[in-house]
Structure 1
Amino acid sequence: MRTRFIAGLSLVTMGAGFITTLFLPDHPAIELLKGGFEAGLVGGFADWFAVTALFRHPLGIPIPHTSLLLKNRNKIANSLISALENELLNKESIARKLKQLQLLKLAGSAMTRLVGKRSNRIGALNAGQILLRQLPLDSFVPLLQNGIVTLLRQTDVKPLATKALDTAITEGWDERALDYALNQGRVWVSKPETGHLLGSIAQQKLAEAKVGGFMGFAVQAFAGFMNEEKLGTMIQQLILSGIQDLVLPDNPNRELLLREIRYQLQRVAGDEELLERGKDWLIDKATNPDSGKFLLERMESLRDLLLEALENEKRRGGRKVVSAFRYVVRRLQAERQLAESAEQKALSFIVNTVEANHYRIGALLKDNLDKMNDKELVRMLEEKIGGDLQWIRVNGAICGFLIGLVLTAIQLF
């Protein structure tokens, strides 16, 4: 080590100078130099002893209060751990340092640089595709089913049914449902095959009708006059006319029908036994293997759609990634309170995580120190701080020499 060589050289220089002055003739200048070299030699030896005593016994002699680092390695390790846990990594110091870093601004700058490169965007999309393909969807199905069942069992159905009914009436869903049913009925009744079916059923029922007297004669005459096509067309027109009347907003029959629909819905919403049976039916369906298969198919379809969307985005160079990032940045800039809240949550998470786990750093430090023997520990410390300590020896020799000159000059004077 270069500093150790310089320190040794300074001590040798002081010793050689002192010995040389012993053989020179008496002269004030020689006495002055001898005093300086003598004091420098003493200072150099004293600092050599002090520095050496930190790491080992000087000259291998077990002098008391030497080899201080090895004798106090546990105390030093515990002090370092205590300082690490209570001073360097305490909650206040971490929070203060993180606030100075301005996490959101720092993260935003880093993300801007990353998102700005096409290769990074493509890499992120590739990673997303790999993650999606490797997701074990079949293992999520039981969890999803259990979650649905738990939610159903913990849910009070009656308030939900009442609220749903109120919402349906307020928003006019019952009227829209009726209009949809009427429209579908009109489409079905208007089909030629429907007319043939209705005519066939009507003619069959007329033939089966057992009416006596004049009424029976009239029915038979009517049945003989009408065929399936005429009967079907007539019934179609009657039904379509009725449907058309029910579509009109002010039709009294429509109001009666809506009133009946609402009454039946209110009856269902207030029937706790019926709601519980419906709830049990839903729970049974949710636990059914067919439901699991259905959920798995839906999740696989969703995964395929997402993979296709990611592939399309890759072909476009990840422009939507840039757009999404810019949208988030604009929102954070516009919503200052939201940005501060997000930063505060991030700070709290980091601080709490470090505070909850910083003892692990101390435990790791203690474990690594315990694995090192005395020789390895001394070598490591000398490599880290030995160089600076050797300069103490150099300074001791030089300062001793200068002080010796001063003291000898005072004696001569």
Structure 2
Amino acid sequence: MAEQSKARYTAAVSLGVMGAGFAASLPFVGTPWVSFLQSGFEAGLVGGLADWFAVTALFRHPLGIPIPHTALLPRNREKVTNALVKTIEEDLLSKESIRGKLGQLRIAERLVDGAMAQLHTEAFRTGLVSAADKLLESIPKDRAAELLEQEIRRRLEAIDAQQVLSVVLGIVYEKKYDEKAFDFVLELAEQWTLTAETRERLGAMVAQALGRMQTNGFMQMAVNAFLGFYSEEKLGGLIQQFIISALFDLKRSGDHNRTALLAAIRSRLTTLASDPHAHQEIEGWKQNLLSRWNLAELTAGWVEQLHTRLKQWIQEPEFTDRYVIPMLEKAAQKLRQDAEAMEKLEHWIHEQLSRWIEANHSKIGALIRENVDRFDNETLIQLMEDKVGGDLQWIRVNGALCGFLIGLVLEGIKVLV
């Protein structure tokens, strides 16, 4: 603004000098050297006035007089705006020029490198935690619990009883759980047998059984003699020793009775796996479990607990430093080292930008037009004068000076002729 005022002042001074020189030379007309200067001042005054008229006519009517073909910019505002929009859209910022400039840029490389440079900044960590927290909060817990309940129920209902039994039996046979269970029962039986109470009970049971036997003749006499010789305590001890001996044999891995019993147990279990009644029983247990089990309440509790733990974990430093940032860094490095993937990414980015340019290029002209139209004529002229008015005022200065020199030259030619 100061530069424009200075240029306007200089132009006015140059015009004033030419006018003053011309007026001062009038009383001395006829003197050769005065006539020579007068021609220069006269031509300079004409040139200065002509350029003042031309510069002024660009923006407004000179002296407010509506002379034809003056105030060119206000009168042709629409044409100027259209020409400006067309020049920018088709020449300065054409689709082809924008695409060409973007084609020279390695956008994918810059994006990946820029992202990698930001991974270990505190701002990125804070943003990552905030984003993860917002993402977690955006998940509807009631809906998640409902989906979890539906999935658990669907999977439980889809369980095949025969398949479950087959899998369980396969594990039992593979890990020899049947033998371990058999040995456990034998151990319990041995512990029970070794007690004094068991010995007394066994003796009483045998004595009662023998006493109830109804035999005749010599056999009855032998039984009575046996009972008279062995008391209940001796009978209990005898049976106890027999049972302990049998249990000891059954606990030995090579005993044929043990092998036969285990084979019988496995045969029974195998038969059970294909027994329809067993399948029905398992299905009944499963349906009873689903009906008694408040699965909706349980899943809601699980989801709430998981949500609380995840929220706490997100706030811990190891969430970003140990898990997320190393994962992102590794993925970015892998992508950066994959030339083919980077080229595909670059192509995809340029393709998307090209589509965006194609769809939005006309908005450049619309934006320019919108910005121009929001100014009235006076404001627009003021803005243009602020930007180029100084240079236009120098046209007036140059016009006055050039006119002065041309006048001198012409007068010189007249003198010589």
Q: Tell me the TM-score normalised to structure 2 length.
A: 0.58
Between 1:2-11 and 1:293-302, the stretch displaced more is: 293-302
Deviations 1:20-57 (A, max 9, x none): 33344655443333222222222222221111111111
Rounded Cα–Cα distance in structure 2 between residues aligned with 1:25 and 1:399: 23
Contact 2:142 2:300 in 1 (8 A): no
Contact 1:53 1:67 in 2 (8 A): yes
**3-state SS of paired residue (1:65):** coil
Rounded Cα–Cα distance in structure 1 between residues aligned with 2:88 and 2:305: 50
Contact 1:51 1:389 in 2 (8 A): yes
TM-superposed deviation, 1:356: 0.7
Determine if the alignment matches structure 1 residue 65 to structure 2 residue 53. no
Determine if the alignment matches structure 1 residue 328 to structure 2 residue 332. yes
**3-state SS of paired residue (1:107):** helix
User: Match for 2:364 among 335, 340, 361?
Assistant: 361
Amino acid at match of 1:361: I
Rounded Cα–Cα distance in structure 2 between residues aligned with 1:238 and 1:362: 92
Q: Match for residue 313 of structure 2?
A: 308
Q: Match for residue 56 of structure 2?
A: 52
Determine if the alignment matches structure 1 residue 237 to structure 2 residue 259. no
Rounded Cα–Cα distance in structure 1 between residues aligned with 2:265 and 2:32: 139
Q: Match for residue 383 of structure 1?
A: 386
Q: CA RMSD in A?
A: 4.7
Amino acid at match of 1:363: A
TM-superposed deviation, 1:125: 2.5
Contact 1:42 1:397 in 2 (8 A): yes
Rounded Cα–Cα distance in structure 2 between residues aligned with 1:72 and 1:299: 70
Contact 2:136 2:311 in 1 (8 A): no
Contact 2:116 2:332 in 1 (8 A): no
Q: How many residue pairs get matched?
A: 309
Which of structures 1 and 2 has the bigger CA Rg? 2
User: Match for 1:39 among 40, 43, 46?
Assistant: 43
TM-superposed deviation, 1:59: 0.8
1:399–1:304 distance in 2 versus 1, CA, 3 Å: farther
Determine if the alignment matches structure 1 residue 17 to structure 2 residue 39. no
Determine if the alignment matches structure 1 residue 90 to structure 2 residue 115. no
1:29–1:83 distance in 2 versus 1, CA, 3 Å: same
Between 1:61-70 and 1:79-88, the stretch displaced more is: 79-88
Between 1:296-305 and 1:106-115, the stretch displaced more is: 296-305
Q: Match for residue 8 of structure 2?
A: 4
1:93–1:379 distance in 2 versus 1, CA, 3 Å: same
Q: Match for residue 122 of structure 1?
A: 125
Alignment gaps of 5+ in structure 1:
149-174, 200-225, 247-256, 261-289
TM-superposed deviation, 1:193: 12
Deviations 1:347-392 (A, max 9, x none): 2212221321232333333333333222222222222322232222
Rounded Cα–Cα distance in structure 2 between residues aligned with 1:295 and 1:362: 56
Amino acid at match of 1:49: F
1:188–1:3 distance in 2 versus 1, CA, 3 Å: farther
Q: Match for residue 170 of structure 2?
A: 182
**3-state SS of paired residue (2:316):** helix
**3-state SS of paired residue (1:101):** coil
1:29–1:68 distance in 2 versus 1, CA, 3 Å: same
1:299–1:36 distance in 2 versus 1, CA, 3 Å: farther
Amino acid at match of 2:131: G
Contact 2:133 2:311 in 1 (8 A): no
Identity %: 34
Deviations 1:217-263 (A, max 9, x none): xxxxxxxxx9xxx9xx979823776699x9xxxxxxxxxx9xx9xxx
Rounded Cα–Cα distance in structure 2 between residues aligned with 1:362 and 1:28: 61
Alignment gaps of 5+ in structure 2:
152-162, 190-242, 252-257, 275-294
Amino acid at match of 1:390: Q
Rounded Cα–Cα distance in structure 2 between residues aligned with 1:296 and 1:388: 78
TM-superposed deviation, 1:95: 1.1
TM-superposed deviation, 1:307: 6.7
Rounded Cα–Cα distance in structure 2 between residues aligned with 1:39 and 1:45: 10
Rounded Cα–Cα distance in structure 2 between residues aligned with 1:75 and 1:296: 71
1:393–1:18 distance in 2 versus 1, CA, 3 Å: same
TM-superposed deviation, 1:114: 3.6
Q: What aligned pairs does 1:5-404 form with structure 2 within 5 A after superposition?
A: 5-24=9-28, 26-108=30-112, 110-111=114-115, 113-115=117-119, 118-137=121-140, 182-183=170-171, 189=178, 190-191=180-181, 237-238=262-263, 301=306, 305=310, 308-309=313-314, 311-313=316-318, 316=321, 321=325, 324-325=328-329, 327-329=331-333, 331-332=335-336, 334-404=337-407
Between 1:293-302 and 1:126-135, the stretch displaced more is: 293-302
Rounded Cα–Cα distance in structure 2 between residues aligned with 1:296 and 1:342: 44
Contact 2:88 2:365 in 1 (8 A): yes
Q: Tell me the TM-score normalised to structure 1 length.
A: 0.59
